[in-house]
Amino acid sequence: MDIISVEHLSKEYREGEGVVRALDDVSLTIGQGEFLAIIGSSGSGKSTLLHLMGGVDRPSSGTVRVNGEDIYQRSDEQLAVFRRREVGLVYQFYNLIPVLDVVENITLPARLDGQEVNERRLASMLRSLGLERQEHLLPNQLSGGQQQRVAIGRALLNSPSIVLADEPTGNLDSKNSAEIMSLLRASNRDLRQTLVVITHDENVALMADRVVAIEDGRIVSDERRA
Ligand SMILES: Nc1ncnc2c1ncn2[C@@H]1O[C@H](COP(=O)(O)OP(=O)(O)OP(=O)(O)O)[C@@H](O)[C@H]1O
Ligand SMILES: [Mg+2]
């Protein structure tokens, strides 16, 4: 069954006098449990597409259906609830809250949603991410790779049905990158989570079930791997 269905999606940004067409009539369906990699050059529209699939921002035209429901028919408040409960989004530039420490950042979506934090799950997440000794540090006291791992922990803690990760290994060396990808892959397999990863790393793309390439806001190839 398709969990995400994107139809004729376009996004334009005003830039001074002109308009930038970041996404140009993109259609794409993603099945539940699928692991999809998105590749494409800088500025091609990858982050824009990921954000629109995650209920961040609104499209200029077209629809995004999740489990058959057009998410942009919802109010901002309903969209916020959708993002907290159903989506784990790892932002390209992390978007950590500077005044909150590692644990507070990771548990924020759960707490905003009024859920009790599962301490055992949190502890095991911190261990898997190699952040046990950084628990009470603030984002500006962390390396880029550590901040990236906090963003991944925040996205995964709630076991969302959809994980959208924007270059989740962009700031990691090859060893850490392989560890983070196996964590995401395990979560995808064990929970039948739908996983969409933007990457410039060929090794990451090679792990995916399917690779979609974007250029100039359009899908230029869509290949399922055997
Ligand atoms: N908030 C914004 N305001 C204006 N233009 C934007 C905005 N966000 C993105 N754009 C423009 O939309 C286009 C696509 O941007 P996007 O961030 O989706 O690219 P990307 O493929 O993720 O690139 P990168 O690999 O560098 O992260 C670019 O031309 C960018 O300048
Ligand atoms: Mg981007």
Q: What is the pTM of this model?
A: 0.96
The confidence score (pLDDT) of residue 176 equals: 87
HSE-CB at 88 with a 13 A cutoff on CA atoms is 27
Q: Residue whose CA is closest, atom 27 of ligand 1?
A: 42
Distance, CA of 196 to CA of 198 (rounded, Å): 7
| CB neighbours of residue 3 within 10 Å | 20
Task: Give yes or no for residue 44 CB within 6 A of ligand 1.
Answer: yes
User: In this structure, which residue's CA is closest to atom 7 in ligand 1?
Assistant: 13
Q: Is 92 in the pocket of ligand 1 (CB under 6 A)?
A: yes
Assigned superfamily of 2-95+159-224: P-loop containing nucleotide triphosphate hydrolases (3.40.50.300)
Please write the tens of the pLDDT for every residue from 89-99: 999 999 999 99
Q: Is the predicted pLDDT of residue 104 greater than 90, yes or no?
A: yes
DSSP type of residue 115: P
Distances (CA, A) of 160 to 61, 89, 135, 154, 224: 26, 10, 22, 11, 24
Q: pLDDT value at position 48?
A: 98
pLDDT at 218: 98
Is the pLDDT at 184 greater than 90? The verdict is: yes
* Ligand whose nearest atom lies closest to the CA of 16: 1
The overall average pLDDT reported for the chain is: 95
H or E segment to which residue 155 belongs: helix 144-156
pLDDT of 76-86, one tens digit each? Answer: 999 999 999 99
Residue pLDDT, tens place only, 188-221: 999 999 999 999 999 999 999 999 999 999 999 9
Q: Is the CB of 22 under 6 A from ligand 1?
A: yes
CA of 198 to the centre of ligand 1 (A): 13
Residue 37 · residue 208 · CB < 8 Å: yes
CB of residue 13 inside a 6 A radius of ligand 1: yes
